[in-house]
Amino acid sequence: EDRGGTVDFEEAAHRHPHPHQGPRPRRNSPAASLLPLRAYECFPEFSFSGLICFSFLQANGTAIGMSAGFVGQAEAREACGLVVDMIRQKKMAGRALLLAGPPATGKTALALGISQELGSKVPFCPMVGSEVYSSEVKKTEVLMENFRRAIGLRIKENKEVYEGEVTELSPEESESSTGGYGKSISHVVIGLKTVKGTKQLKLDPTIYDALIKEKVAVGDVIYIEANSGAVKRVGRCDAFATEYDLEAEEYVPIPKGEVHKKKEIVQDVTLHDLDAANAQPQGGQDILSLMGQMMKSRKTEITEKLRQEINKVVNRYIDEGIAELVPGVLFIDEVHMLDIECFSYLNRALESPLSPIVILATNRGICTVRGTDMTSPHGIPVDLLDRLVIVRTQIYGPIEMIQILAIRAQVEEIEIDEDSLAFLGEVGQQTSLRHAIQLLSPASVVAKANGREKICKADLEEVRVLYLDAKSSAQLLHKQQGSYIT
């Protein structure tokens, strides 16, 4: 059930989450600005939030060898730097980028680096290809929902507000219109004070209900919107901060300027926030309706009709200059997990007028397109591949791998000598970078058990025997396959 053509921007703004939330490294950490590629996978305590930026590119766009936590991948970084420039100039909307390369070569890190460089005002919606499969919602609905999460709308609104410290709050009563002995509130007199002056306002009794709901008292700092009558309690005036020794109140300074002022309010929402805010059905207040809403836990799809209505309102706001469209970034990792229906839907969605920048990532070579018998590069149909700009990431060389392992050891505050680091680099070349990184922590425990703070080569050799990599495990399985149940 839709709400017609009205769009609830206030509710959508409250629903809008920050796109880059997550734990940050300690500020005083020696490697707080040196996270390696894909470090968040192996070391979940750290986040890329606020760390990756395109400061690893020089002014002419060429890559710096090792900067901002990035090692190697010079061509891929330069290509992503150009993509960021095109996004800022709004010349990339409706296009798609494919990051293709072997595992552990920094594809996801490059995509997150693009999002960090664009800033928090540009929506960034990450998803994994397997997220589209649900028993409750269609695959195409999940894709469309994420498409609309990645399209932002910046709404500018001029509001008249009355703001200040409450100096007087007195409701005026009158005889009830229904007769009898009861009395009703006819109006409310409220006094507001700022640095520049004071003002006394006569308010409607409905605003008095909002004042009671916000628990406003004399000495509080509030603001009242002139158009809607909405009341917001900002906090307690800091002049009363010495009243109590311990207080749970939030103290704020007395507002500057006049009591009556005009403010430009800027709200950043996404199209999905508008969809979700207006898709909630207005059920009845009787017990059957309330029970039905509580029992209905399944996720409901947002209808195409509602989206079209919201698009009309958004287009009207853009034409009137009230709102500005901000195309964001939709990042689909492990894109080979999508099937042929999803790929055909992506083809159509990329051509729509409201389309974000789409970044895809995959580590597959030539493989079968899911849902079909045909094989294709990267598991993506050829007609969609024609629309993509493909960026290759390369396997790290020995020197680059040692640099990444050194940064990793610094992040984990592990001491390791140069010979051990070189040996670990060789292990990474023979097995994988992730396996070499995962040997650091056990080797540190072994070194401490042997009474040393610094990891030596003997510790790494001992740990390497204890923990097998995928290739060694496969070889052992092949030799002993008779001992296993097949």
**CATH code at 336?**
3.40.50.300
Do 371 and 413 belong together in one domain? no
pLDDT, the chain, mean: 80
Statement to judge: residues 225 and 201 lie in one domain: yes
Q: How far is CA 323 from CA 10, 14, 153, in A?
A: 14, 17, 7
Q: How many domains does the chain have?
A: 3
Lowest mean pLDDT among 184-188, 404-408, 418-422, 459-463: 184-188
More confident residue, 247 or 134: 134
Looking at the structure, tell me whether residues 403 and 449 fall in a common domain.
Answer: yes
Residues 383 and 456 in one domain: no
Instruction: Tell me, yes or no, whether 142 and 183 share the same domain.
Output: no
Any domain includes 358: yes
Nearest CA-CA partner of 437 in 22, 40, 32: 40
CATH number at residue 437: 1.10.8.60
- Decide if 460 contacts 443 (C-beta within 8 A): yes
Listed residues 392, 411, 426: the one ending a domain = 392
Residue 273 in any domain: the answer is: no
Domain boundary residue among 356, 372, 392? Answer: 392
The CATH number given to whatever domain includes residue 174 is 2.40.50.360
Cα 308–333–405 angle (5° rounding)? 150
CA dist 274 to 7, 210, 265, 320, Å? 7, 25, 17, 18
Q: What is the pTM of this model?
A: 0.69
- Kindly report which listed range (40-44, 73-77, 228-232) carries the lowest average pLDDT score: 40-44
C-alpha to C-alpha distance for 486 and 475, rounded to whole angstroms: 16
Q: How confident is the model at residue 29 (pLDDT cuts 50, 70, 90)?
A: very low
Per-residue pLDDT at 125: 92
Q: Are residues 34 and 54 in the same domain?
A: yes
Q: What value does the mean pLDDT take over residues 356-378?
A: 91
Q: Which of 392, 409, 427 is at the close of a domain? A: 392
Residue at 366 is within a domain: yes
Residue 294 domain flag = no
Q: Which of 138-152, 229-243, 376-390 has the lowest mean pLDDT?
A: 229-243
pLDDT single digits (tens) 237-264: 888 887 777 777 888 899 888 888 887 8
Q: How far apart are CA 292 and CA 132, in angstroms?
A: 27
Q: Are residues 424 and 476 in the same domain?
A: yes
Q: Are 122 and 192 contained in the same domain? A: no
The answer to whether residue 341 is domain-embedded is yes
- Domain range for 168 is 156-266
Average pLDDT over residues 38-46: 34
Contact 412, 39 (CB under 8 A): no
